[in-house]
Amino acid sequence: MSPLVPPPDGVPLELARIVDSRGRPCPTPIIDLARAAAGAPPGAELRLLADDPAAPGDVAAWCRMRGHTLLETQERTANRPWFVLRVRMSGTTRQ
């Protein structure tokens, strides 16, 4: 399971979590995100760090299926492209 990294100072842990899935192949980033989401309250923000090229599309689809909001997708590069995906948890969970 990927580690949950605390958010920057001043942001309550229950409202922002960073899920670091870099170096983990598909579908592991989505599995990591889903596990973190299971314990997240409505309105919480999760940030997924992933270098799997399928992650942006997978996260967008997962958000649509689960009723969450994809707030932002950033592509970063440092020897290899990777992504920061910001997701806001809804108050409902779709099965």
The CA-atom distances, in angstroms, between 2 and each of 54, 82, 90 are 18, 16, 22
Strands 16-20 and 69-77: unpaired
Question: Is 63 an annotated catalytic residue?
Answer: no
Long-range contacts of 5-11 (CB under 8 A, 24+ apart): 7/47
Catalytic residue among 4, 16, 26, 54: 26
Q: Where in the sequence numbering do the catalytic residues fall?
A: 26
